[in-house]
Each structure stands twice: as C-alpha cells, then as structure tokens.
Amino acid sequence: MHTTPPFTLFPGSRNWKSAALAAVLFLAGLSLSGQSADSLQIRKIFDESLLRGRSYDWLNHLSNQIGGRLSGSVQAKQAVEYTKKELEALGLDRVWLQPVMVPKWVRGTSEFAYIESEPGNTNNVPICALGGSVATPVGGIKAGVVEVQGIEQLQQLDREEVEGKIVFFNRPMDASLINTFQAYGGCVDQRHGGAEAAARMGAVGVIVRSMNLRLDDYPHTGSMSYGDLPESQRIPAAAISTNGAELLSTTLKLNPGIKFFFRQYCRQMADVLSYNVIGEIRGSEFPEEIMVVGGHLDSWDLGDGSHDDGAGCVQSMEVLRLLKATGYRPKRTLRVVLFMNEENGLRGGNKYAQEALNAGEKHVFALESDAGGFTPRGFSFDCTPEAFDRIVAWKPLFEPYLIHQFIRGGSGADIGPLKPQGLVLSGLRPDSQRYFDHHHAETDTFEAINRRELELGAAAMASLVYLCDRYGLPDQPGLRK
C-alpha cells in the first residue's frame, strides 16, 4: 500500500527538525482554528440568550399565569398545554405528548399547629403536610413529643418511649458543607422515611424540621413514603419551619411534658392521566443518535415552582431555540423533554426511559437542569473516565463565562432511568447557596428569579449540547452494547 512520506506537506523544509516543527505548528493551527470556531459559536449562543432570550418570559407565564403544578392538578394540565404550544411555535421538526399515569395527592385546607406548654397556653407554629401524607383525624392530633436527630436515634429508643407520641425529627442541614445539596442529602432521609419508622414504633404522628439552611417561618414540603405499611398503620406527617423547629426544641427542653397539636386534611386520590412534553430537531448526519435536554414540569403546590423546576424546563426549551437561532444544525437528534411527576413519583422519567427502550432508541447524551435558576457554575457528569477526559478538554471554552466546575458525579433524577441504555448523563450545576431558601416552600416564586442568571444557565446548557453534538462522545457501558 502506498503511503505518503511524513513531511511532504512541507516541501520547503529540507531539515527534518524544521520539518517536524512545521508539522507541529500546522497541527496546532488546525486545533486553534477549531477552538476559535467553537468560541465564536458559544459566544453567539450567549449573546442570543442574554439579548433575545425567551426563557424568562416563558417562566413568567408558567409561574404567574399558571402557578404551582402539582402532579395531577389542573395547573399541571395547563402547563402541558402551554409548553406544547410554545415548542410548536419554535418550528421544531416534531412536538408530541407522551401519556403517563401520575399520582394525585391533594393538600386540602391549610394546615394548623401549635405548641401547648400547659392547658390554655399555646404558641402557633407554621407547618405543612408532607407530600403523600395521610390526614389527621378531623379534630386533629394532640400528643406528647419525643425529639430525635434522625431515624437511627429513633430506633435506639424503647417502644414505650415513642408509643402514643408525636416524633419530632430535628436534624438540621449541615451548614459547614459548602455544597448545600450534600447538606440536604445528609438529613432528607428523616423526611422521606421518618413516618414509616415512627409508625412501626407506635407513634401517632411525625413532625420534621424543614430542609432549609436559613432560619425563617416557611415550612418546606417534599415527598415521603410509608414503605409497605398498610393504610391502617399510616400516621400523618408534616414539616415545621426552621424557626418553629427551634422553638419546639427549646420549649421541649424546658418542659418535656408539653403537647403538640396539628391538623391537616390532605388525601391521596386515584391516579390520573398526564403527559411528558417532548419536542425534537432531527439530526442531519446521525438522526438515530438522540441527545436529551430537560427538566420536570411538575412542582409542589406551596409556591409557583419557579426554581424547582420551572427554571430547568424553560432553560431546556431555550437550548433548542438558541441552536436554531444561531444557525446551528445538530448532527444528532436533539430532544427536549419536560418530564411530569418528578416530585412525588418519577413516573415521567421512568415512562420516557421505558418507551425509549421499547422503541430501540439509541440515546448518547442527556442533560438535566433541576438545581434552580441561579448563576451556572459548571456541570457534573455521570460517565466513564474516557468520556470525562474528552469533556473536560472543553472546559477552557466555558472559563470566560466563569463556568468552570466540571466534575464527575450525579446528573438528574428524571434522566437517571436512561443510564442502563448506555449514555453520558450530565446535570447543570448552578450556585447552590440560596437554593434551599426556596426549595419546596411558598417562597419558590418568580420574584426569586434573576433574569440574567436564568439566561446564563440556558446558554451554558446549549453550549455543552453543541460541543457534545459536534464532536460526539465515547460509548458508555449499557444495554445497547
């Protein structure tokens, strides 16, 4: 087989050292040329988002015209209709709804609670029912209180110490941790599994300190589970504000004989039909390879779900608009998925993954935004070392925008079910310091959104999608192999 001599690209180079130097410079020039093209495209993406972005206006409508979008609610249905219409207006190649049955839990009349130091001497405290909890009896529950710092400490007590009482889980988020999601992960088990553990020891109710680093008067809801407990053994569970938790704990130390009263009217209803909202741009070269970007369309009902996760939804929609507006035609099929029911069931994420598997689709990359609409700091990646090495080489392209934290780690709840199919998973990582001030509380409103931060996040996501599409990613271990 004929081969070209190594330095014939440089006929004027008579000396082999000068020829080698010329070759290095030539290849470096090609590399710099590629980086320059990428830098220009990314600059166009950021300019389009910051100057003509649509994400903020979309979120304004979701938050202020529709409101909290609890799975199975009228507002969730309105959000499906609105986002489908907006995606169609972008002129995508295809927009459709993917049916999924979701749970319908209803909060009912506002909750009420007080601490009774002695008969007739009470202090009201803010609470809210945890998502999925049963109601109290119509007249409420009043009982003594046992305070614990977590499920492990509860299980070390004798049953007699717990039976007939309300268990108060009061382990706070660890303020020493810079990553506030780590702090959240360190104590959220008491919210999710505390009622089951307490019920098994004969408790009549559960009160959980809100997952919030700040001391305020806003209780934060969230999902909880009774495990395999029969309905007859399930006990009501509520979150108490951090100020309320401090007051309850202090009062209990001064007077262990105090009583706590709370009343809530929530109930679980039959599952209802809802939808994932999906839109796509068909790939120009490798249409069978699918790249997903998304967030979850449902939210809790106390606020309007602007940060969790309206922001992630509109940013994901904006990714497709930004690439179209800057004239970039993806090589691979780019799909936006607005998942339903992440907060209290993950039905949408599981349904999408199952349908993709049934259809034999080949997903190569998925990016989720579900950590708030704050200033983007970088991305986390669930992938092989080989894939991460390729991705981290793009980090200098993001550094001018101060988006430079590229780490291996988790991605997102809704795209997680895709992992067995073999693909790179990623999560947008915004600054997390203010996130849990709003998470699952009535303070999660549009007023807490900064337009520029939201738009920077959308541009960062679009830039990462652009690079993954242009250069491709190594295969991951998975079922499709």
pTM: 0.91
For residue 237, give the nearest of 217, 252, 223 by alpha carbon.
223
CB-based contact 435:445 (threshold 8 Å)? no
Residue % of the chain over a pLDDT of 70 = 92
State the catalytic residue, choosing from 86, 111, 147, 342.
342
How confident is residue 28, by pLDDT bands cut at 50, 70 and 90? very low
CA–CA distance, 442 with 438 (Å, rounded to integer)? 7
Of the candidates 49, 458, 52, 65, the residue with the CA atom closest to the CA atom of residue 293: 458
Q: Which amino acid is at 151?
A: I
9 — pLDDT class (breaks 50, 70, 90):
very low
342 part of the active site: yes
pLDDT band at 475 (very low <50, low <70, confident <90, very high): confident
**Three-state DSSP state, 183:** helix
b/e 121-142 (16+ beta carbons within 10 angstroms → b): eeeebbbbbbbbbbbbeeebbb
Q: Are 336 and 316 in contact (CB under 8 A)?
A: yes
**How many CA atoms, within 13 angstroms, populate the side-chain half-sphere of residue 178?**
1
Residue type, position 144, single letter:
G
CA–CA separation, 225 vs 220, rounded Å? 16
Q: What is the DSSP letter of 64?
A: I
Q: Tell which residue, 344, 332, 316, has the closest CA to residue 133.
A: 344
Average of per-residue pLDDT values in the chain: 93
Question: What was the pLDDT predicted at 32?
Answer: 53
The span from the CA of 73 to the CA of 300, in Å, is: 10
CA distance 133 to 126: 17
Residue 4: pLDDT above 70? no
The model's pLDDT over 210-256, given as tens digits with 9 standing for 90+, comes to: 999 999 999 999 999 999 999 999 999 999 999 999 999 999 999 99
pLDDT of 24 > 50? The answer is no
Instruction: Return the residue matching tokens 């009896």.
Output: 137
